[in-house]
Amino acid sequence: MTSPASDASGAADLPDYAPIPRSALGPALNEQGYYVGRVERNLYWVTDGVYQSAFLTTRDGVVLFDAPPSIGHNLRRAVDEVAAANGVPNTVTHLVYSHHHADHAGAASLFEKDVVRVGHEETRRLLLRDDDPARPLPEVTFADRYTLEVGGERAELAWHGPNHSPDNIYIHFPGHDTLMLIDVVNAGWVPIYNTNLSEDIPGYMAAPATALSYPWTHFICGHLGRLATRDDVAVHQAYIADIEASATEALAAVDPVPFYMHYGENVWAGVKAHLDTVTERAAAPIVAKYTGVLASADIEVFTWTTTFAIMQSLRLDRGLSVSRPVHP
């Protein structure tokens, strides 16, 4: 009989990694697999340890911000738990999309059909394109800014340009000292593949500075098990800035000519060897510096792919060290 550790999945060959800093972890989940906690006053956040959502309770009902399918029906349980404890209505009257991605909006259809859905105008366009019944279209859209007022509570929604996605917005709760910005900073952790799978690298790199320009103490980042702080955003900025500096140095230091000469007419082999060498040189000091500071910094694949994405942005968006000089 094949043991679970040696089956075809290859689990027996999985590598070990550095311990996760305790500061990166959030509160324990309940028996249903979620945690719901107060952010400030009547603003709450919900997590399953991997994804996050938030909601405001008001005298006129509940405003939900994102509906990750991994949390799913536990969103309803969390709302009911808080509403019952505080003697307030538990009807979800509004649902705000931070952006269109299914991993943050795929449980939106679980809520009342007459809920008012709010999102950026690009979110509506992208959801029309995606044609996913799990993510109903927003009825209320905006271009740059929108103030959502429900039951005496207020959330300020703003689009400051593309970052993680073309439509990712900033959600500010001025009466709750809180900002919500999804898929840019991971509290206490490195970004996953390619800068959190972001579509606009310059926008992604600039987003934390925009976030810090708002007044807030609590930061809902959309992933993992705890809320973020201003210090978390600053550490993320330092990590990204170090990658940018290291990639800039590596682009200047690595001579591309030998790789292309070696592979001759196999141009893609030359490209791969050249850019992989640049990325490895750039990523190595980042892994060494941030292991033990940010969780999973030693998982070199994440720092490697984020470094690759930033290095490519330096080449293609900023024009640093393109592979060939301008032909005379």
Residues 236-290 have pLDDT tens digits of: 999 999 999 999 999 999 999 999 999 999 999 999 999 999 999 999 999 999 9
Q: Percent helix, strand, coil in the chain (nearest 5)? A: 40, 20, 40
Residue 77 clears pLDDT 90, i.e. is over it: yes
Residue 205 pLDDT grade (very low, low, confident, very high; cuts 50, 70, 90) = very high
Q: Which residue in this structure is represented by tokens 């979620």?
A: 34
Q: What percent of the chain has pLDDT over 70?
A: 95
pLDDT, residue 319, reads 85
Residue 328 pLDDT grade (very low, low, confident, very high; cuts 50, 70, 90) = confident
Strands (E), 132-217: 140-142, 145-150, 153-158, 170-173, 178-180
User: 168: closest CA among 104, 235, 72?
Assistant: 104
State which H helix or E strand residue 218 sits in: strand 218-220
As a whole number of angstroms, the distance between CA 155 and CA 171 comes to 7
Read off the amino acid at residue 70. S
Residue 135 clears pLDDT 70, i.e. is over it: yes
**Among 188-197, 259-268, 296-305, which is the least confidently predicted range?**
296-305
Residue 3 pLDDT grade (very low, low, confident, very high; cuts 50, 70, 90) = very low
Strands 178-180, 140-142: pairing kind: unpaired
Residue 322 clears pLDDT 60, i.e. is over it: no
> Can you give the pTM of this predicted structure?
0.93
The stretch 153-167 carries a mean pLDDT of 98
